[in-house]
């Protein structure tokens, strides 16, 4: 009889532990500054897209960079071209491609005459 009572007591204790563990519930409340919601909305409005460009020339002399920009525009007038000062050189950058594939296609044409042309993503001031 004592063995049955011990067995019964162990089973009841085990079941009561299982039910008490599963019966626990919790509630989490998060309080945050209202400015966080404003920042999240602002972040949604700011379009963060990658931009690809092609660098076709670099030199310390602005006159040579301007000459190369003119030469480039005479050969290829389908993309925007700009001269950018990036210490210590003036660089001739081509295009404003939103997709890498577009930049690759333009680079394939450009590299025929500008064999050192490279595709890159300019750093942004984030």
For the domain that residue 79 is a member of, what is the CATH number? 3.30.70.1070
pLDDT at res. 6: 66
Q: What is the mean pLDDT of the chain?
A: 84
Number of domains, the chain:
1
Is the pLDDT at 107 greater than 70? The verdict is yes
The pLDDT value given to residue 16: 62
Looking at the chain, the whole-number percentage of residues with pLDDT higher than 70 is 73
Domain membership of residue 58 (yes or no) is yes
32 in any annotated domain: no
Q: Quick one: pLDDT at residue 44? A: 64
CA distances (Å), 17 to each of 5, 14, 20, 23, 78, in order? Answer: 18, 5, 5, 10, 75
- Is 85 part of a structural domain of the chain? yes
Residue 126: per-residue pLDDT: 52
Q: What is the pTM of this model?
A: 0.61
Report yes or no on 21 lying in a domain.
no
Q: Domain range holding 84?
A: 52-120
Query: Residue 3 domain-assigned?
Result: no
Residue 76 lies in a domain: yes
- Determine, yes or no, domain membership for 68: yes
Q: Tell me if 62 sits within 8 A of 40, measured CB to CB.
A: no
């Amino acid at each position: 009889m004592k063995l049955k009572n011990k067995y019964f007591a162990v089973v009841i204790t085990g079941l009561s532990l299982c039910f008490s563990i599963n019966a626990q519930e919790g509630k989490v409340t998060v309080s945050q500054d209202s400015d966080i919601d404003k920042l999240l909305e602002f972040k949604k409005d700011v379009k963060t897209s990658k931009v690809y460009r092609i660098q076709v020339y670099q030199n310390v002399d602005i006159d040579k960079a301007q000459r190369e920009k003119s030469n480039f525009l005479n050969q290829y007038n389908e993309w925007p071209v700009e001269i950018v000062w990036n210490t210590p050189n003036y660089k001739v950058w081509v295009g404003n491609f939103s997709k890498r594939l577009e930049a690759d296609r333009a680079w394939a044409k450009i590299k025929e005459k500008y064999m050192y042309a490279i595709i890159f993503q300019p750093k942004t001031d984030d």
